[in-house]
A and B are shown apart, each in its own frame.
Chain A
Amino acid sequence: LVAEQRNLEGYVGFANLPNQVYRKSVKRGFEFTLMVVGESGLGKSTLINSLFLTDLYSKDYPGPSQRIKKTVQVEQSKVLVKEGGVQLTLTIVDTPGFGDAVDNSNCWQPVINYIDSKCEDFLNAESRVNRRLMPDNRVHCCLYFIAPSGHGLKPLDIEFMKRLHDKVNVIPLIAKADTLTPEECQLFKKQIMKEIQEHKIKIYEFPDTEDDEDSKLIRKIKERMPLAVVGSNVVIEVNGRKVRGRQYPWGVAEVENGEHCDFTVLRNMLIRTHMQDLKDVTNNVHYENYRSKKLAAVTCNGVDTSKTKGQLTKSPLAQMEEERREHVMKMKKMETEMEQVFEMKVKEKKQKLKDSEAELERRHEQMKRNLEAQYKELEEKRRVFEEEKANWEAQQRILEQQKLDATMEKNKKKGKIF
């Protein structure tokens, strides 16, 4: 479809479309699923409460960290929050027990299973014949908490991120950043980013933007990655200001102070500017990845990869149609081949029969002629014989006659004549 450019000579009004979209989205409400992963004691629950300025985990609904877990669980809490007329259904997915065991091999598996199962639910709902409004429970973002060791990533960190970067948007965070000095933090961040690059881990990337201001902001954020955070909902008074922070004998670490930690950066990015993009990347990239892998496994099982590559860009229905057509053609070809072979064999056999008949015919002819020749020969022989016989008999008769005549003469001479 080639689109032609047209200039408008006056206000039409479709510039109002964004408002219509806005209105409808507010009516619909929003949802977001945030997963937090990290060893216990890294302040995950506190951070969530700080981000969303609420007691998600409270006395009545204690966070998973309050409960002792032997194995890795995946637990979700759903809350409904409203702000400025906008409704958000927020699902927080926690992974208590992660990294807490002595042997943490495969502790990421329950996490992967959870993410996959949400994708599967969505896929199934999307694939129904009768589709209804589908809730989107897919995990839109995974905050990965790195312990503030100051050295580098632990093997578990690397392993986890490597296994999950293709399934979900991973945002690594340095937890409890108030235990690192700015210099230590800088070095730590550099080291982590280096290791992330070395291991080819794909953490969530901000989309390119044409807006210069936005580009500048994004570059600033990128320089601070991974974000070092501190969480707290305790309000403390500092120099007459009421701030949220952590009180130490030596001072107050302010949560929302950009010089103390990157909390504000995280909050702004996660909630205020890129929440929608996190959902879009989940939908357009991670989910599509999952879906195409799942469907490819079903529809191309056992077929060699060179063929399947082409099949992936076709819908399975079209795929079946094509297979059907191919098979019909194959059958037709087989039919004509069989027909040809059949005809040929019949012709062969008939020819053989004909030859056989001709041969027999020939032989019969020959025998007949042979016989005829013999007959002729016999007749000739008989003719000769008859002739000879006739001659001889004639001769005999003459001789007889002569004899008779001679006798008669003799008798005459003897006077035997009366």
Chain B
Amino acid sequence: LAAEGYEAVCPGEGARAVPLSGHVGFDSMPDQLVNKSVNHGFCFNILCVGETGLGKSTLMDTLFNTKFEGEPTQHNQPGVQLKSNTYELQESNVRLKLTVVNTVGFGDQINKEDSYKSIVEFIDAQFEAYLQEELKIKRTLHSYHDTRIHACLYFIAPTGHSLKSLDLVTMKKLDSKVNIIPIIAKSDAISKSELTKFKIKITSELVSNGVQIYQFPTDDETVAEINSTMNGHLPFAVVGSTEEVKIGNKMVKARQYPWGTVQVENENHCDFVKLREMLIRVNMEDLREQTHTRHYELYRRCKLEEMGFKDTDPDSKPFSLQETYEAKRNEFMSELQKKEEEMRQMFVQRVKEKEAELKEAEKELHEKFDRLKKLHQDEKKKLEDKKKALDDELNMFKQKKTAAELLQNQAQQAGGSTTLKRDKERKK
């Protein structure tokens, strides 16, 4: 990843210039770098955002002179989905892994408030994947397949009037996340004069709404002029076609109407050539670079700040990721421990409460039975008293009985003797 790496751009900082007395040979460095990149292969990811039917797929096919995906999509999608396809292309010795991402169902819903959300989520997801890889301890950035979106072609419907509010809202949400290149789709529906007015209106609306679209770079003298001119032609009014029509003695890509033929690669007819030139032939590498050094960095910074990371001191003391990780981790671990402790305490509390409750119940139970026991004791005592009373009566009775019997016996004996006497007298 040295081509994308953080190579110094502070040349000669603290270095003194010395003359060379001959050819050393390091002027081959750019070639060495290029050879390495070519061997490694390139990758480029384009996101096409626009309503269904604006010719997104056709434009991709036209740009890359090939047939990409299959079926055109229907209008009945419930939400906006992103479909991504990756292709291996080769031109002379240059291998390109091209990923085309399409927004399916964009603008088809009645309520379009959330349309931009899935797009933003998708873009963020690619940044996230890269960030995760970059943060791994054992990482393989060198062979990582970069899926971050390098260019977003925003398809504007050729109404001829102004941008739709959906367009403004969406582009505003995307402009800090991706390089936006706005294009007027199916521009063969607009007349030349209308087109100029349309472009001016669009540009002014973008400016007044603070939408940052991608500017072709003008810092490199080699391409500054052409880029600067092209910046003035934005948004590009394009026409796409894979059909070929014979013009003169050549077969050209065109759309044939009864009143004439729109030639895709005719710069008088549309800006297709300009788009291709800017997007592919001149600024493809810059689009990749901007994605990495600007949009990705912004995402990364926000993500890390969200998670509580921050540089200790902006300039003086170098920030140590390890220390921050460790600090974060400790903070996090102690937080977890605290939670654990809290939970334990809560349980201890509950146990205490329940124990007290049960003890209370136990006490009540014992009190109840103590009372019953007491009652029982009382009853028992009463019984005992009654028993005693009965026994006393019984004893008394017995005594009475015994006394009476004794008397009777005595009486009987006396009576017996009387009777005997009488009998004796009788006998006499």
Contact = CB atoms under 8 A, between A and B. Distances in A.
Are the chains A and B members of one assembly?
yes
Contacts of B319: 124, 127-129
B21 A53 contact: yes
A318 interface: yes
Given A299-B137, A378-B383, A130 B68 contact: no
A25 B33 contact: yes
A134 B3 CA distance: 14
Given A5-B87, A81-B20, A315-B139, 15 more contacts: A12-B65, A13-B91, A54-B18, A54-B21, A83-B24, A86-B29, A129-B311, A131-B297, A135-B13, A275-B29, A276-B35, A276-B36, A313-B138, A317-B307, A334-B343
B328 interface: yes
Contacts of B408: 399
Contact of A335 (B343, B394, B411): B343
A129 B305 contact: yes
Interface string B293-322: 000010011001101011100100011111
A52 B29 contact: no
B425 interface: no
B42 interface: yes
7 contacts: A14-B42, A21-B285, A52-B24, A292-B139, A298-B322, A298-B323, A315-B133
B44 interface: yes
Residues of B in contact with A, size category: 35 or more
Contacts of A88: 26, 29
B96 to A, nearest CB: 5
Contacts of B110: none
B28 interface: yes
A54 B404 CA distance: 160
List the 5 closest pairs (A to B, CB-CB), nearest first.
A127-B321, A84-B27, A315-B135, A20-B285, A276-B32
Given A129-B301, A272-B28, A21 B34 contact: yes
Contact of A6 (B68, B145, B379): B68
B7 A79 contact: no
B9 to A, nearest CB: 5
A67 interface: no
A52 B318 contact: no
A24 B220 CA distance: 8
B397 A14 contact: no
A121 to B, nearest CB: 7
Listed residue (A80, A121, A403, A406) with the most chain B CB atoms within 10 angstroms of its CB: A80
B248 interface: no
A178 to B, nearest CB: 21
Interface string A46-64: 0000011111100001000
A336 B371 CA distance: 42
Contact of B394 (A89, A233, A283, A385): A385
Contact of B321 (A9, A123, A313): A123
Contact of B32 (A2, A127, A128, A275): A275
Interface stretch (A146-154, A162-170, A224-232, A348-356): A348-356
A288 B136 CA distance: 11
Residues of A in contact with B, size category: 35 or more
Contacts of B6: 125-126, 131, 133-134, 136
A277 B36 contact: yes
B19 A22 contact: no
A124 B321 contact: yes
Contacts of A87: 11-12
Interface stretch (A99-107, A180-188, A366-374): A366-374
A69 interface: no
A381 B390 contact: yes
B380 A298 contact: no
Interface of B: 1-3, 5-38, 42, 44, 63-68, 85-94, 96-97, 99, 131-139, 142, 145, 147, 219-220, 222-223, 276-277, 280-286, 289, 297, 300-301, 304-305, 307, 309-311, 314, 318-323, 325-326, 328-329, 332, 336, 339-340, 343, 347, 350-351, 354, 358, 361-362, 365, 369, 372-373, 376, 379-380, 383, 386-387, 390, 393-394, 397, 401, 404, 408, 411, 415
Contacts of B297: 131
B20 A54 contact: yes
A56 B31 CA distance: 26
Interface in A1-60: 1-18, 20-32, 51-56
A385 B390 contact: yes
B43 to A, nearest CB: 10
Given A130-B311, A320-B329, A31 B383 contact: no
B325 A298 contact: yes
A275 B365 CA distance: 93
A271 B25 contact: yes
A133 B10 contact: yes
Interface string A354-369: 0011001000100110
Contacts of B223: 23
A324 interface: yes
A126 B137 CA distance: 13
B137 A81 contact: no
A279 B277 CA distance: 33
A299 B323 CA distance: 10
Nearest to A84: B27
Contacts of A124: 318-321
Given A311-B137, A331-B340, A350-B358, A14 B13 contact: no
B31 A30 contact: no
A79 B20 CA distance: 11
A288 B309 CA distance: 22
A94 to B, nearest CB: 16
Given A13-B276, A21-B285, A52-B24, A356 B365 contact: yes
